[in-house]
Amino acid sequence: MKELELKYGLNPNQKPSKIYMADGGDLPITVLNGRPGYINFMDAFNSWQLVSELKASTGLPAAASFKHVSPAGAAVARPLTDIDRKIYFVAEDAEVSPTASAYIRARGADRLCSYGDWAALSDVCDAATAAYLKGEVSDGIIAPGYTDEALAILKTKKKGNYNVIQIDPNYVPKAQERREIFGVVFEQGHSFLTIDEAMLSNIVTENKTLPDSAKTDLILSLITLKYTQSNSVCYVKDGQTIGVGAGQQSRIHCTRLAGDKANNWWMRQHPKVLGLQFVDGIRRPNRDNTIDVYTSNEYEDILADGVWQESFKVKPEPFTEAEKKEWVSKLSGVACGSDAFFPFGDNVERAFKSGVQYIAEPGGSIRDDNVIAACNSHGITMCFTGMRLFHH
């Protein structure tokens, strides 16, 4: 297929719309089901690059959950713990393949932002992954292949209209890429930058400790940032993103946003949250939103008399600020990546509050000494990668 006509572009008024190869060649994708739109393809191509590069760098199956051309979450395959199954709502008897675990964890990073996501898999989509995805609100998926059983399951989503794209895993884009903005053509070299352990060799802090698990997490953070709208900061723990701050004009706001999301992810593992008794039949989006509000400072919105009964069988006790602070203080071993240098030490101070012990950033600020000093004061290990990762 050389050209695919789309319903419309970014918005319904932007017609006509299509995707095609500039050289007249065949598109590297096949639409197996549904009718993907302009934004769907933007998410699909960005998310595919992320998961394929993550698989190449770690050797592990990878998955991503994209919304509005940035990842809500990304992860590599890891066995799910009992806590994972509870906070990601995976049945005790549900089969979880390596690929399924990667997607479950990617979507679980920020379930609120993953509502209506675009899913990406580095490996063939199997029945276990499709079965989990079937129960989630999602717009589509891209993968290098699908088992017959998985495809049959996915074709039942959205009344048979779920978007399923298969991509040629051997496709390599041309060295030069172009796009138009306001009628002006922009051209640049495609970013074939390889992100691997070699990029973490320049450790600039007093603490030089960098275990293999932290290296994997930093690689995950950097590859995620490579496909996140800048400015961006990413927190990672145990092979999954737990907080992505995207598209902020200020670096510290990225760091705060990502840190707040990491705290929210951690709060969902508090015994109070795990013990919530929801009413029978509550919809997944309503449950996820209720948990988000319950752990926030706006908990009164769902715990008011006459309101809490809509979500809970038993009215839960709200968190005190002391309880929240005490629980968040237990979060540790977090890795943090930044797509450009930290201009001030305040970014390090904020990251430390969310359990960050490892940082990777390009370096090159006139205040690098201040940033390094902030890391040293907390025993944080920091690598200068020497490479900016802006994405727009």
**Residues annotated as part of the active site:** 67-68, 231, 392
Closest CA to 240 of 75, 104, 68: 75
Q: In 156-292, at which residue ranges do the beta strands (DSSP E only) sit?
A: 163-167, 176-181, 184-189, 232-237, 240-246
Tokens of 160: 């048979």
3-state secondary structure of 145: coil
Cβ atoms of 332 and 355 within 8 Å: the answer is yes
Q: In the chain, at which residue ranges do the beta strands (DSSP E only) sit?
A: 3-6, 17-20, 29-33, 62-67, 70-76, 117-121, 138-143, 163-167, 176-181, 184-189, 232-237, 240-246, 334-338, 356-361, 381-384
Q: How many CB atoms lie within 10 A of CB 311?
A: 22
d(CA 275, CA 266): 15
3-state secondary structure of 109: coil
Residue listed under structure tokens 């690598």: 383
Tokens of 216: 């994997």
d(CA 325, CA 203): 31
DSSP character at residue 198: G
d(CA 228, CA 218): 15
d(CA 114, CA 84): 17
d(CA 123, CA 129): 11
Q: How many CB atoms lie within 10 A of CB 354?
A: 25
